[in-house]
Chains A and B, each alone.
Chain A
Amino acid sequence: QKEVEQDPGPLSVPEGAIVSLNCTYSNSAFQYFMWYRQYSRKGPELLMYTYSSGNKEDGRFTAQVDKSSKYISLFIRDSQPSDSATYLCAMSAAGNNRKLIWGLGTSLAVNP
Chain B
Amino acid sequence: NAGVTQTPKFQVLKTGQSMTLQCAQDMNHNSMYWYRQDPGMGLRLIYYSASEGTTDKGEVPNGYNVSRLNKREFSLRLESAAPSQTSVYFCASSGRVGGNQPQHFGDGTRLSIL
From A34, A49, A98, give the contact of B97 (CB < 8 A): A98
CB distance from A98 to the nearest CB of B (A): 5
The answer for the CA separation of A48 and B92 in the assembled complex, in Å, is 17
Given contacts A88-B43, A99-B45, contact A42 B100 (CB under 8 A): no
A104 interface hit (Cβ, 8 Å): yes
Known contacts A42-B107, A44-B90; is-contact A98 B99 (Cβ 8 Å): yes
By a CB distance below 8 angstroms, the chain A residues around B50 are: 97
Query: Total A-B pairs in contact (CB under 8 Å)?
Result: 59
* B100 contact from A8, A30, A88, A94, Cβ within 8 A: A94
CB-contacts of B29-65 with A (<8 A): 40-43, 45, 48, 50, 58
Contacts of A41 in B (CB 8 A): 107-108
> Once the chains are docked, how many angstroms separate the CA of A98 from the CA of B45?
13
Looking at chain B's contact residues, the main secondary structure is loop
Q: Does A100 contact B (CB under 8 A)?
A: yes
Instruction: Write out, one digit per residue, whether chain B residues 63-90 have a CB within 8 A of any chain A CB (1) or not (0).
Output: 0000000000000000000000000001
- Sorted from nearest, which 4 A-B pairs have the closest CB atoms? A92-B99, A43-B105, A32-B99, A104-B42
Interface, chain A (partner B; CB < 8 A): 8, 30-32, 34, 41-46, 49, 51, 88, 91-100, 102-105
A46-B102, A88-B42 given. 7 additional CB < 8 A pairs? A34-B102, A43-B108, A44-B105, A51-B100, A97-B50, A99-B97, A102-B43
Can you list 30 A-B contacts (CB < 8 A)?
A8-B40, A30-B99, A32-B99, A43-B4, A43-B90, A43-B92, A43-B106, A43-B107, A43-B108, A44-B90, A44-B105, A46-B102, A46-B103, A49-B102, A51-B100, A92-B98, A92-B100, A95-B98, A95-B99, A97-B98, A98-B98, A98-B99, A99-B45, A99-B48, A99-B97, A100-B99, A100-B103, A104-B40, A104-B41, A104-B42
